[in-house]
Amino acid sequence: MLQPDKLIYVGVDLHKQHHTAVIIDCWNRKLGEIKFDNKPSAFPQLEKEVKKHAKKGISVVYGLEDVGGFGRALAVYLTEKNCWVKEVNAKLANNRRKSHVTVEKSDAWDAECVARVLRDELYNLPDAKPIDLYWAISQLVTQRKWQAKSLTGMVKRLHQQLGYHYPSYKKFFSEVDGKTALAFWHKYPSPSRLSGVGAEELAKYLRKLSNNGLSTKKAEQILSLVAEDGDTTRDFQDKRDFIVKGLVRNIRFYGRELTRIEREIESLMKQLGFQLETMTGIELVTAAELVSEIGDIHRFASPDKLARFAGAAPVVAASGNKFRNYKSKQGNRELHDIIKALAIRQIAVTRTKKEPRNPFFYNYYGERLAAGKTKQQAIICIMRKLVNVIYYLMKTKAAYEIPVVPSKEAA
């Protein structure tokens, strides 16, 4: 471990077009500042400025807030140059800025706050390791989120339009955006298109769409509901029908895109060799989300450091002989939310037999409640244990096995 006076700290405030770097020493004295473009050809300018202050026997450590977005190119450049690069949580730097007597807001001051956090929290911060494989997975996960969000928006709009045309449309099919339902809405975007269509003709069409899953009874039900709703035809009905058909086409498109993206994610995840999906509640997308936020697991020396990074480690507040653990509001909030959702899945039960999906965590949850914890506190306890499990699975690439719960406790 290097002595603080043998280091200089470079904090970088990152932007799309340019970056600002501030250099400080162990006494928080500002040594230098430089603004440079966010492109590889300009990065040597930063190295040149830093070398002016890196005297013999002095090492340099860089702190970057965002190594997966605007700062990725710089992180890659520095790591390829064998520089020491740390990832600084943006919330830590923001809190440092707000804690100052006079609150300022400028690129240079933001960079200096990053450098000060880097100086104070050096050995608690994860190393920045911008490996292309993890970055590609992260980009695909982000792309999938946007596609899923667009799909959800289209489905909501379809609900709205169908409500105008078919007031009882929710009773037609179990899923409004299912394969059979979408085909029906596209062929019959409004009741006016069903004019003259009999039960047998509609039943034949439905049987073909659903592989004989829907019968004449369903066709009769739909026609009966349409008759009960009354006439919903209005002026410019053909334009309203056009809107419904367009929404159906968009929903189909986004559905196909999600499938394509998930195939790409699966092909990259196979290269990592993790077996995260063997754990209860983790499927391909969740596993990819975990990997995209955590990155290379080897940058975390222990599960404790991963827990702090995820905001799953409690914050201890002590005064005299009294102490209390508080929920952390720091760390990577995206990762925190993923692990929280995963924790909730661990205590779920099957729909039919009402059996715990994960008996170990279900039993542990009950123990925490019996010990006086609130439901929210018990969930946080599960999250902390899950961090240990995830760390182990990623570090060893082993498959998950549910720990055996003694029959007495399981009962």
User: Looking at residue 411, what is its pLDDT?
Assistant: 41
Query: Helices marked H in 166-236 — which ranges?
Result: 179-187, 199-209, 216-229
H/E/C letters for each residue in 179-199?
HHHHHHHHHCCCHHHHCCCCH
Contact in structure between 33 and 39 (CB atoms under 8 Å): no
Question: Which residues of the chain carry a pLDDT beneath 50?
Answer: 410-411
User: Looking at residue 130, what is its pLDDT?
Assistant: 84
C-alpha separations of 398 from 163, 388, 394 in Å: 50, 13, 8
Whole-structure pTM over 0.85, yes or no? no
User: Looking at residue 376, what is its pLDDT?
Assistant: 92
Residue type, 400: Y
The DSSP letter of residue 327 is: -
Name residues whose C-beta falls within 8 Å of residue 177's C-beta, 6 or more positions apart in sequence. 155, 158, 251
Longest dimension (CA), the chain: 91
Which domains are delineated in the chain? 4-130 (3.30.420.10), 135-267 (1.10.287), 273-410 (no CATH)
Contact in structure between 177 and 157 (CB atoms under 8 Å): no
315 pairs with which residues across the strands?
A: 326
198 phi and psi angles, rounded to 5 deg: -90, 170
Element (H, E) at 148: helix 132-165
Query: Helices marked H in 216-355 — which ranges?
Result: 216-229, 237-272, 284-294, 303-310, 333-346
Task: Give the tens place of pLDDT for each residue, 165-189.
Answer: 999 999 999 999 999 999 999 999 9
- Residue 140 in 3-state DSSP? helix
Long-range CB contacts for residues 47-53, cutoff 8 Å, separation at least 24? 47/81, 49/21, 49/23, 50/8, 50/10, 50/21, 50/23, 53/8, 53/23
